[in-house]
Every structure is written in C-alpha cells, then in structure tokens.
Amino acid sequence: MRNQPSTASEHIVEDLRAKRLEIKTDCPSPLREVIEEIVEHPEVELAWKKHTEHSRSSQRGCVMGCVLG
Amino acid sequence: MSDSHATTHFKELGLLAIVEVTNVCNLRCGYCYLGPLKSGDMSPETVKQVVGEFIKYNQSQQKLSKFYWHGGEPTLRGVPFFREVLRYADELSGEKVIHAIQSNGVILDEEWMTFLSEHDMGLGISLDGLDDSHNIGRSFANGAPSNKEVLKTLDRLAKTNIPVGILFTLHQRNRQQVQKVFHFCRERGFEFGLNALTRTPYHQTFEDNAPSPEMYADAVIEVFDLWLNQPAGERRIKANPPVGLVRAILTLTGGGECSHCTNCNEVIMAIRPNGDVYPCNRFSGMNRFRFGNIASDGLRACLQHQHRMKILARNYQVIERCRTCDIGSICNAGCMGQAHGEYGTIFREDPLCDAYKRIFHYAQQTINNNLITRKEVQYA
C-alpha cells in the first residue's frame, strides 16, 4: 500500500480545483504561482507525471540534483 | 518575474542525454565526480552517434529530445564544435531539440554569448560563493582562484537574454554564502539552485567537507524562505530545491527534481567521451553500472541491459527505511548516486534522508498555512 504523507497532499490539487480549498489572499506570490501553475493547468500536473518539457526556465543548470525540466 | 506561464509548452520529453563531450577541464574541483581523470575528448563520430541514436529513439516514442552538454568543461570544445552539433541535431530531427550546457564559466567569451543567445540554449554556471569560499573547492590546476573569472562572466551574462542558472554546491566552508549568492542571482535575474557536496567513488580529501544533513536542511529552508519572501513588484527568480519541493508535494511525482523521481533512470542517461553509457554522471566509469557503448552496442541494447534493469527496480518501497516513512511517496528515497557514494549500494536511502524529512515537512506546512477551506463548503 502506498505511504501517505502526514497531511493529505495528494488531495490538495483536487480540492483546489473543486473549490473546496482556496489559496489565501496573502499567500506569497512565488508559492501562489507554483500552486496555480499546477491547479489551473492540468497539463502541468500531467507534465510532471509524464516528464514533460514545460518551461523554458527548466532548461537551466545542471541536471544532477536539479530540475529535469 | 517568473517566466513559466509565458513560455509554457507541453510536448512530452523523451530520454534525456547527459553528454560528457570531454574529460578535459581547466579547473581541479575538489569534489569532481570524474576524480583525477582529466584527458580525452568525445570524437565527432561518437557525438553524431549519440545525437542520432537519442533523436531516433525519442522520435520513435513520439517525444522531444533534450541534451545536457557536460564534461569535464564542455566549453573547451569551442563554439564551432557545438555549432556543428546543433546543426546536425536540427537537420536530423526536423523539429525542436532542446540543449543546455553546464559550465564552470571561466572561458565564456563574446563568441560564446552570441552563440548561446542565438540558439536559446540554457546555461548552468557553478558558483560556490562570492568570495574565496568559491575557490576552496574550485581552483585552477595550478591552485589559482577561479572566482574573478566566473564573476566577470556572470556580469556579462546579466546583460544578455541567455537563460542562466547558478548551481551552488553547499559544503562546510561556504554555508554563509548561501544567502549572498541567492541575492546575487536575484539582482541579475539568474535562477538559483542549491546542491549538497556529496561523496564520489574517488573519495577525494575535499569530500570530507560534505555538509551534514542538518546543515543541508538549514540551508534549503533558508533558500525556501528567501524564495518565498521575494518582495512583490520586484524581480523574482525561480529557486531549487524550493520550486521542486512544492511541485513534488503537490504532484507526488518528484516535481521535476531528479533526486525525487520515482526512478530517475527511466528518463536520464549519461554518455562518457568514449561512448560508454551510464545511468548518470555520478556513476561514470563504474563498470558495474555500465550499460554498454553507444557505438558498438547502440542505445536500444543499453536500454535493455541487465544493469539498467537492476537500477530500475529501485523505488522507495524496496528500501526498508523509506517504506514506512511518511514522506516516502514524495521523496522517493532521494538520489541513488548519493546512496551509492555513501553506502556502496543504490538500495539504501539517500544519506540526506534526515534533511529531506525536515525540508519536505517544512514545505508541506508552508503550503498548508497558505490554503484555506472555503466557508460555504462542508469539508469532510
């Protein structure tokens, strides 16, 4: 059986899409942008699941220990 | 500002090739994964074979090809070499091919800047500090410091449109530089990435400076807060691990961090200058991880090699400590290269395990603190 994180992280995106959760108005912009990127663009979530090129910025840097893109 | 929305596109990536085009390097970094080996270039024929095999394979899977040009110091091969490589890749592919290069930033002149800019090529530069703490681990062969050359290059890059990412390798002697380098990046619009110095198979003396899990966790949490609290209305930059941590938590797929993928070997391969194929640079030259040779065996045989099959069996559920861990499915046992460097086996947890627990819990808590249940909804 799959281990679950201590909080229900696998439900966050689902609940945000269903409007059961929302991002606080004072959420810092960098965090808001990453959450919204996934929530508002299902293809981005899919991108990570399927290892998909999704961002020009992810071309940068060394692959070892860093983002794959 | 984040550029992720403006330039988003969603074509699926194929197998990513980390290509070591040379062993030669003008620096003698104390934590180099190649150890003392500093000679040997990849022949033009082998480069073409690598490019051809990967493009052909990825096209057969209807996926996009991406190459990370590595070394040694890859820029020592010169602009004409890379111009020919990119021309060949474009000609062969007939569609977009993504290229990025990882450099020490010492010899990047105007010709290089023009080339990178023209080809929209991602550039990673290693910078371990703004002062002498950079030089402790990253000096020239004669022992001379390299930071002045690197900083000069970075000042020039800041005036271009080249997408630059800084790779900061944390060790015991540059911990105080984390914040300074982050601000340096933000002022110039560079992406910031932090890695921990980890053990190589060569056990070089400098590797004794590897940070403790506690020091690494402190540094990552500091970067997380710096990233999170970038002032509104000012230039903001992307930083890793923070962005990758949030994505990993929300998607349970590693979020693009190779250390936290279900199994990085599903998507990455490294090719040595002689054409030998390995799971990643961290295993370069280690025979029991060699998948074969791109020229004599071909890529498909390498993909089916028994060494790869064994590596693909690694996931958090086969590692005792991870199986029962509450972040097992988020962390995915961390980096197998780091596990091997520390314990001599990939079937152990990453030695930074205790750090990952702290870091993921911190990021998770931060996410939770910034979400709210809608009042009108009965939330079970």
Tell me, what's the pLDDT at B264? 85
- Looking at chain B, the whole-number percentage of residues with pLDDT higher than 70 is 95
What DSSP line would sit under B248-292, residue for residue?
HHHHSS-TTBGGGSS-GGGTEEEE-TTSEEESSGGGTT-GGG--E
Interfacial B residues in 119-178 facing A (CB < 8 Å) = 120-124, 126, 163-167
Does the pLDDT at position A69 exceed 50? no
Cα–Cα distances (Å) from B183 to A56, B192, B214, B228, B369, in that order, read 22, 9, 23, 13, 25
- Burial level of B139, CB count in 10 A (0-12/13-18/19+)? middle
Q: Where are the beta strands (DSSP E) in chain A?
A: 21-23
Does the pLDDT at position A43 exceed 70? no
Tell me, what's the pLDDT at B156? 96
Does the pLDDT at position A4 exceed 80? no
pLDDT, averaged in runs of 10, over chain B (380 residues): 35 86 94 81 97 96 91 96 97 91 95 94 94 95 95 96 94 97 96 90 84 97 98 89 90 78 86 95 90 96 96 92 91 92 93 96 95 64
- Residue written as token pair 């290269």: B337
Q: Does B211 touch chain A (CB under 8 A)?
A: no
Tell me, what's the pLDDT at A57? 36
Q: How confident is the model at residue A13 (pLDDT cuts 50, 70, 90)?
A: confident
CB atoms within 10 A of CB B344: 9
Tell me, what's the pLDDT at B267? 85
Cβ <8 Å between B249 and A9:
yes
Does the pLDDT at position A67 exceed 90? no
Cβ <8 Å between A68 and B256:
yes
pLDDT tens for each residue of B122-168: 899 999 999 999 999 999 989 999 999 999 999 999 999 999 999 99
| Nearest neighbour of B191 by CB, restricted to A51, A57, A68 | A57
Q: Which of A46-50, A58-62, B72-76, B326-330 tops mean pLDDT? A: B72-76
- Residue written as token pair 């050359």: B149
Cα–Cα distances (Å) from A53 to B7, B65, B98, B331, in that order, read 11, 10, 9, 21
Tell me, what's the pLDDT at A23? 94
Average pLDDT of span A33-46: 79
CB atoms within 10 A of CB B60: 10
Sign of dihedral through CA atoms B117, B118, B124, B127?
Answer: negative
Closest approach of chain A CAs to the CA of B295, in angstroms? Answer: 24
Q: For residues A58 and B191, what is the distance between their CA atoms, to the nearest angstrom?
A: 9
CB B94 within 8 A of CB B44: no
B268-B6-B114-B68 Cα dihedral, nearest 10 degrees: 0
| Nearest alpha carbon to residue B136 among B38, B30, B35, B219 | B30
Name beta bridge partners: B103. Answer: B125
Closest approach of chain B CAs to the CA of A63, in angstroms? Answer: 7
Tell me, what's the pLDDT at B74? 96
Going across the sheet that includes B122-126, the strands are: B239-240, B191-196, B164-170, B122-126, B97-103, B64-70, B13-20, B268-271, B276-278, B292-293
Interfacial B residues in 324-343 facing A (CB < 8 Å) = 324-330, 335, 337
Q: Where are the beta strands (DSSP E) in B171-231?
A: 191-196
Q: Where are the beta strands (DSSP E) in B156-200?
A: 164-170, 191-196
Tell me, what's the pLDDT at B95? 86
Q: Which residues of B touch A48 (CB under 8 A)?
A: 247, 251, 253-256
Tell me, what's the pLDDT at B262? 79
Residue B223: CB partners within 8 Å, gap ≥ 6? B178, B182, B192, B194, B239, B241, B242
| Tokens encoding B16 | 């990513």
Tell me, what's the pLDDT at B284? 86
CB A17 within 8 A of CB B250: no
Residue A57's identity, in one-letter code, is: S
CB B252 within 8 A of CB A9: yes
Tell me, what's the pLDDT at A48? 52
Tell me, what's the pLDDT at B135? 96
Name the helix (H) or strand (E) containing B126: strand B122-126
ipTM given for this complex: 0.89
Q: For residues B41 and B108, what is the distance between their CA atoms, to the nearest angstrom?
A: 19
Name the more confident of B84 and A50: B84
Q: Which residues of A touch B244 (CB under 8 A)?
A: 66-67
Tell me, what's the pLDDT at A65? 42
